Amino acid sequence: MGILSMLQLLPIIILNFDYMAIGRFLRKNLVSITFPTLTLTCILLDWNHTRKWKAAQ
């Protein structure tokens, strides 16, 4: 399948996309997705702040 035929199928794929399935997935797994994401974000922000703080001393 060439690039051109894939681009022609793109609008059909977008129109037939199951947005309700994504909604159900997010509703079921929101905590499982959010908790590790927030935890890693806080760890990385704290690490970055500590690294800058140590460099300033």
The string of pLDDT tens digits covering residues 24-52 is 998 999 999 999 999 999 999 999 999 99
pLDDT at 22: 85
- For 1, 4, 7, 8, 17, the CA distances from 11, given in Å and listed in that order, are 16, 13, 8, 7, 10
- For 1, 7, 11, 15, 48, the CA distances from 4, given in Å and listed in that order, are 8, 5, 13, 18, 44
Average pLDDT of the residues in 6-32: 79
pLDDT at 14: 67
- pLDDT exceeds 80 at position 17: no
What residue has token string 């929101």?
A: 30
pLDDT at 4: 63
